Amino acid sequence: MSSSIIHSAKAIHNMAIHQIQSIPEELFDIQAPQFNNTIRWHAGHIIVVLNHFLSMSIPYSYEVPEGYKGLFGPGTKPADWDVTPPTKDELVQQLSEQLEHLSEVTPDMLEETLKSPVDLGSKHFEKAGELFNFALLHEAMHLGNISSMLKVVKTM
């Protein structure tokens, strides 16, 4: 089962790369009133949060660039940015590097018990694979948000 989760994680991350690459950069920073964030924010958020969850669950050596957590971490929003965010190409490059590191994940890693359990709201994780799977679901949710935002901003 763990190898299936790894395969799914790489497939979803690859979908994220292709979806984000296909969006014209001029649409990345349009914030429709129906949404709290932008396409650029969601792309960066995927990078930051995936890195966070994986570093908590498995031996994972990828580091996000300095400043990404302040731009794209939970609770952040483009309205608060006071620095220039990364370009589309920079975000795609970071996503691609993460995909390479996902290839290093093994089923045995996912069977390991976490050093200490992780609680996220009502969710409780004790195994690396549980947290890894949650990271996968989180990324898929943000891909859905990007798709919805794209439909809206194209009509603006």
Extract the tokens encoding 106. 């093994």
Scan for tokens 């589309």, then name that residue: 88
Q: Would you place residue 1 in the very low, low, confident or very high pLDDT band (cuts 50, 70, 90)?
A: low
Q: What is the distance between the alpha carbons of residues 117 and 40, in angstroms, rounded to a whole number?
A: 32
Q: What is the mean pLDDT of the segment spanning 114-131?
A: 92
Q: What residues pair up with 113 in beta bridges, in sequence order? A: 127
What would the pLDDT profile of 107-120 be if each residue is shown by its tens digit? Answer: 999 999 998 899 98
Domains (ranges, CATH) in the chain? 2-153 (1.20.120.450)
If we measure between CA atoms, which residue out of 75, 132, 141 comes closest to residue 109? 132
The DSSP symbol for 119 reads: E
pTM of the model: 0.93
pLDDT surpasses 90 at 130? yes
CA 146-152-155 angle, to 5 degrees, is 140
What would the pLDDT profile of 22-56 be if each residue is shown by its tens digit? Answer: 999 999 999 998 898 999 999 999 999 999 988 88
- Give Cα 2 to chain centroid, integer Å: 20
